[in-house]
Amino acid sequence: MEPLKEHVRNKIEKHPIRSIIVLWIMVLPLVVFLAVGIARYWGKNSVSAQIYIENEELALQVKRVSEMIVLKFDIMKKYASLLAVNRDVVSALFSTTCPERINDYIQSFSNVLDVDLVFVLDKNGVCVAANHRAAFDMIGSNFSDREYFKAAISGKRYTQFVVGRASSSPSFHFSAPVQSGSEVIGVVVLVVNIEKLSQQLYIPAGFITDKSGVVILDNEFENMLKVVPGEAASNFEQKQNQLLYFRDRLEPVYLQEHTVDGMSLWTLRKDGDLHIFQGANVSSYGLTIYGFSSISSILEDGEKTFSRYFCALFIAMGVGSAFIIGTITNLIRDKYMRISLQNLNAQLKRLAQYDALTELLNRRMFDEAIAAYFAQARRLGTSFALIIFDIDYFKMLNDTFGHQEGDRVLKEVASSARNALARETDKVFRIGGEEFAVLVLAESDAQVVSLMEILRRAVEGLGITHPQHPGAVVTISLGGVLVKNSTLFTATALFKMADDALYSAKLSGRNQAVLAQRFEVPDLATGVADQA
Q: When comparing pLDDT for 453 and 519, which is higher?
A: 453
How much is the average pLDDT of 345-350?
Answer: 73
Residue 139, number of CB atoms within 10 A of its CB: 16
| Angle made by CA atoms 76, 79, 83, in degrees to the nearest 5 | 140
CA dist 299 to 259, 277, 308, Å?
A: 13, 16, 14
What per-residue confidence (pLDDT) applies to 529? 30
Tell me: pLDDT of 9 over 60: no
Weakest-pLDDT range from 300-304, 321-325, 382-386: 321-325
**Exposed e or buried b per residue across 206-229, where buried means at least 16 C-beta atoms within 10 angstroms of its C-beta:** bbbbbbbbbbbbbbeeebbbbbbe
* Chain mean pLDDT for the chain: 81
Give residue 331's pLDDT band: very low, low, confident or very high (50, 70, 90).
very low
Confidence of residue 22 (pLDDT cuts 50, 70, 90): low
Closest to 148 in 3D by CA, of 109, 189, 92, 120: 189
Q: What's the pLDDT score for residue 245?
A: 80
Q: How far apart are CA 205 and CA 294, in angstroms?
A: 9
- Please state which of the ranges 50-59, 213-222, 397-406, 426-435 shows the lowest mean pLDDT: 213-222
The answer to which of 23-27, 148-152, 262-266, 413-417 has the lowest mean pLDDT is 23-27
Whether 169 and 198 have beta carbons less than 8 Å apart is answered as: no
In this predicted structure, what is the pLDDT of residue 518?
A: 62
Instruction: List CB contacts of 127: < 8 A, sequence separation 6 or more.
Output: 119, 120, 121, 138, 139, 140, 141, 142, 143
Of 41 and 383, more confident: 383
- Max CA separation in the chain (angstroms): 120
Q: What is the dihedral of CA 11, 15, 21, 23, to 10 degrees?
A: 20
What whole-number distance in Å separates Cα of residue 398 and Cα of residue 407?
A: 9
pLDDT at 385 over 80: yes
Whether pLDDT at 324 is above 50: no
pLDDT (tens digit per residue) in 241-271: 887 888 888 888 888 888 887 788 888 888 8
Q: What DSSP designation does 221 have?
A: S
Radius of gyration of the chain measured on its C-alpha atoms: 32
User: What pLDDT was estimated at residue 87?
Assistant: 82
Fold of 363-530: Alpha-Beta Plaits (3.30.70)
- Whole-model pTM: value is 0.50
CATH assignment, 85-195: 3.30.450.20
Domain with CATH 3.30.450.20 in the chain: 85-195, 203-294
Provide mean pLDDT across the span 277-296.
87
- The reported pLDDT for the residue numbered 323 is 45
Report the alpha-carbon distance of residue 394 to residue 503 in Å, rounded. 15
Question: What architecture does CATH give domain 203-294?
Answer: 2-Layer Sandwich (3.30)
